[in-house]
């Protein structure tokens, strides 16, 4: 693991390695397309810096720090 999704700077892209969350939450993120190997980029952040908006598989989803921090990435 190089970094987590939350640490991915705005405008950069990474590759999902694994999601370290309980099944209920993990399932939701996987179903949105954050499966291992998926390309994801960080687009913009909310005024307080959390949540952040990520582009994955053609759509934009907002994730809170506690979730994004549990998605392991390798730099793409």
Partner 1 sequence: MGLTLRSVGKNAADTIDIEAGACRTAALAGNPNVGKSTVFNGLTGLHQHTGNWSGKTVLTAAGSFQVDGRTYALVDIPGTYSLRAGSAEEEAARDYIAFGGADLVVVVCDAGALERNLNLALQILEVTPNVILAVNLMDEAKKRGIRVDTGRLAALLGVPVIPMAARRKKGLEELKRAVADFDPPPYAYTARYEESVENAVNLLEMPLENLLDGRLNARFAALRLLEGDPGMLARMDAYLGFSLARNPAVASALARAGELLRRAGIRSGTVGDRLIAGIYKSAGDICRQCVSGPAGYGERQLKVDRFLTRRLTGIPVMLALLALIFFITIKGANGPSDLLYGLFERVGRALERGLAALGAPERLTEALIFGVWRVLGYVVSVMLPPMAIFFPLFTLLEDLGYLPRVAFDLDAGFRRAGACGKQCLTMAMGFGCNAAGVVGCRIIDSERERIIATVTNALVPCNGRFPILIALISMFLISSGGTGASILAALALTGFIVAGVVATLLASRLLSRTVLKGRPSSPTLELPPFRAPKVGEVIVRSLLDRTLFVLGRAAAVAAPAGLLIWLAANLRVGDSTVLGLVTGALDPVGRFLGLDGVILTAFLLGLPANETVVPIMIMAYAASGTFQGYEDLDALRGLLLDNGWTAVTAVCTALFTVLHWPCTTTLLTIKKETGSVKWTVLAALLPTAMGAAVCALIAHIFG
Q: Given the rule CB under 8 A, which residues bind partner 1?
A: 23-33, 35-39, 41, 43-51, 53, 55-64, 66-67
As measured in angstroms, the least distance from the Cβ of 2 to partner 1 is: 20
- CB nearer to partner 1: give 3 or 28: 28
As measured in angstroms, the least distance from the Cβ of 3 to partner 1 is: 20
- Round to whole Å and give the CA distance between 50 and 29: 17
Handedness of CA 26, 36, 39, 16 (dihedral sign): positive
């Amino acid at each position: 693991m190089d970094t987590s999704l939350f640490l991915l700077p705005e405008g950069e892209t990474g590759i999902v390695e694994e999601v370290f969350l309980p099944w209920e939450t993990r399932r939701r993120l996987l179903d949105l397309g954050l499966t291992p190997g998926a390309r994801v980029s960080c687009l913009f952040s909310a005024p307080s810096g959390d949540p952040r908006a990520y582009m994955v598989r053609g759509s934009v989803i907002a994730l809170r720090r506690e979730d994004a921090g549990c998605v392991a990435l390798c730099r793409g």
